[in-house]
Amino acid sequence: MTTTHFEAVNLGDLAPRSIPSDHLALIALDEAQRVTLYTYGQLDTLAKAAARGLLGHGLAAGDSVAVLAANSGEFLVLLMGAMRAGITVVPVNYKFPQALSDFVISDSGAKLVFVDSGRRANAPAGLPVIEFGGKGAQSFETFLDHGDFTTVVPGPQDVALLLYTSGSTGKPKGVKLSHHSHLWVVKTRLGNQDLSDQRYLIAAPMYHMNALALSQLALAGGSTIVLLPQFDAHAYIHAASRYKATWLTSVPPMMAMMLRETQALANADLSSVQVIRMGSAPASEALLEAIRRVMPHARIINSYGTTEGGPVTFGPHPEGKPQPFLSIGYAHPHVDVRLIDEQGRVSDQGVLQLRSPGIMLGYHNRPDLVGAITDDGFYVTGDVLRRDEDGFYYFVGRNDDMFVCGGENIFPGEVEKCLETHPDIQQTCVIAIPDEIKGHKPVAFVVLVPGSALDEATIKAYALANAPAYQHPRRVWILPDLPLASTSKVDRNVLKQRALQIIGQLDVEPVCAHA
């Protein structure tokens, strides 16, 4: 079956018309690993019922609803139904503290909140609540209004999704993503591929672009989604094996945690996996090599994307040149890309700016953030990249992570890449701590390959031998795992607090595992 003709006009109605109604669309697992199956016909029926339910609750096109819940089939149904009705969906990071999630829901202007049982107590006061999996008048099952529904045809400025950034440098910002921008994203990613025989394992949270964009691609391709409520390494391996996943999508720390489950991996059959797509954070060479050892026949895609700019930025080389191991690809032919250096000049290394039909409309309720999109329409990512002589791009670090040590600019990502070339180092996180003489100095937290016996002195010596002396970490602490933030990226703030506590600059209780 070929599903190459893209017909969708609404982001909530992506399935190709040619897909049989009994084709399996979704394998949804709950926390207890209980399974609910949805065909494309069932998803369509439920999405219509969700759209009618929203209108029956007094909402109209242009309104917003918030979702404070883990991944589930009901979450996906609500997402599809709301967008079909022209209603903006606000997926809320349920790992935010109460005050922050309350802020996001209030700032978004949501008129209705959908929760699951685990997050029911965190719903803000003063707004009506519908509970996924609940019973009675406030249950999602009661909310649904079965019947026919005509999907809304959105305009260019109609917002489908309002995604809030993590808020690590202040209050979260609402990123306005239009139907038009992400229909372009889906169409561009789909191309002429037939994806109807693919199974995508999704465990990243659906308040994150990583999971949302892949679920949209899967639905548009007539594929099957295997959906976990949240990431758990053992459950992830089990689901990939049991349901014969062909695509694994994750952020690098998730894959690193999976690789440490040696017994589960030994008992699993991952021969079905054809593609492993990692994004949202840089991957190390050691991690990529470890993945290859476990799944030698799978193609690994080291990708790049942002909430504001979308997941389509880089791709394969137009001349077919092989992509270097740590590169994030060549500039996509439908995306304008430029790197701006510290002097404001276009350069081979600098802050990435990109322009495409997939970028955001802007930030919600933030007229003060005028520099995010330039006068000529480029989104300023804040990520520092470099380009090699063949046109391949590499992630260097966040512009706001860069620090000065004795007059030298240091990007933590560059130090991390150096350390991770050591065969016994699986993962690192380098942060800056204050220093009276140098201004700041780098320190490192390291996760070793299982069975390794490296010590601090050996790691520091390796850094000195393989990078400029000013980059070497002045202290190194070895951890069994690196703590993750709510986006499944490494939580640098937690590690910085830990480092400051260890060296006696803060008198606080430990906030992560003992070094």
Do 437 and 370 share a domain, yes or no? no
Do 335 and 359 share a domain, yes or no? yes
Do 371 and 336 share a domain, yes or no? yes
Confidence category of residue 62, pLDDT binned at 50, 70, 90: very high
Residue 183 scores a pLDDT above 80: yes
Closest C-alpha to 306, from 404, 242, 228, 398: 398
Do 409 and 468 share a domain, yes or no? yes
Residue 437 falls inside a structural domain: yes
How many domains is the chain partitioned into structurally?
2
Residue 377 falls inside a structural domain: yes
Confidence category of residue 170, pLDDT binned at 50, 70, 90: low
Residue 75 falls inside a structural domain: no
- Residue 4 Cα distances to 19, 186, 277, 450, angstroms: 11, 12, 22, 44
In the block, tokens 């439908």 appear at 334
Q: Measured between alpha carbons, how far is 511 from 131 in angstroms, rounded to an integer?
A: 33
Do 424 and 357 share a domain, yes or no? no
- Residue 150 Cα distances to 10, 19, 40, 192, angstroms: 11, 19, 17, 27
Do 488 and 438 share a domain, yes or no? yes
pLDDT at 505: 55
Q: Measured between alpha carbons, how far is 275 from 299 in angstroms, rounded to an integer?
A: 5
CATH number at residue 477: 3.30.300.30
pLDDT at 256: 83
pTM score? 0.83
Do 448 and 474 share a domain, yes or no? yes
pLDDT at 3: 43
Do 443 and 367 share a domain, yes or no? no
- 374 or 278, which is more confident? 374
Residue 445 falls inside a structural domain: yes
Range from 75-84, 233-242, 244-253 carrying the lowest mean pLDDT: 244-253
Instruction: Tell which of 398, 417, 438 closes a domain.
Output: 398
Residue 90 falls inside a structural domain: no
31-54 pLDDT tens trace: 988 999 999 999 999 999 999 999
Q: Measured between alpha carbons, how far is 256 from 241 in angstroms, rounded to an integer?
A: 18
Residue 366 falls inside a structural domain: yes
Q: What are phi and psi of 82, to 5 degrees?
A: -60, -45
Instruction: Tell which of 368, 398, 428 closes a domain.
Output: 398
Confidence category of residue 414, pLDDT binned at 50, 70, 90: confident
Residue 510 scores a pLDDT above 60: no
pLDDT at 515: 44
Residue 169 scores a pLDDT above 80: no
In the block, tokens 């679920």 appear at 215
Residue 323 falls inside a structural domain: no
pLDDT averaged over every residue in the chain: 90
Confidence category of residue 166, pLDDT binned at 50, 70, 90: low
Specify whether the CB–CB gap between 249 and 202 falls below 8 A. yes
Residue 176 scores a pLDDT above 60: yes
How is 169-202 classified by DSSP, letter by letter? TSS--EEEEEHHHHHHHHHHHHTT---TT-EEEE
10-29 pLDDT tens trace: 999 999 999 999 999 999 99
Dihedral angle computed from the Cα positions of residues 485, 486, 487 and 492, in that order, rounded to the nearest 10 degrees: -20
Residue 346 falls inside a structural domain: yes
Q: Which residues contact 428 (CB under 8 A, 6 or more apart)?
A: 284, 415, 416, 419, 420, 444, 445, 446, 447
117-155 burial string, b = 16+ CB within 10 Å, else e? ebbeebbbeeeebbbbbbeeeeebeebbbeeebebbebe
Q: Which residues contact 250 (CB under 8 A, 6 or more apart)?
A: 203, 204, 210, 231, 258, 276, 277, 278, 488
pLDDT at 470: 83
Instruction: Tell which of 398, 431, 452 closes a domain.
Output: 398
Q: Measured between alpha carbons, how far is 300 from 255 in angstroms, rounded to an integer?
A: 12
pLDDT at 2: 45
Mean pLDDT score, 67-92: 98
Do 388 and 418 share a domain, yes or no? no
CATH number at residue 348: 2.30.38.10
pLDDT at 379: 96
- Residue 444 sits in which domain range? 403-502
Do 372 and 413 share a domain, yes or no? no
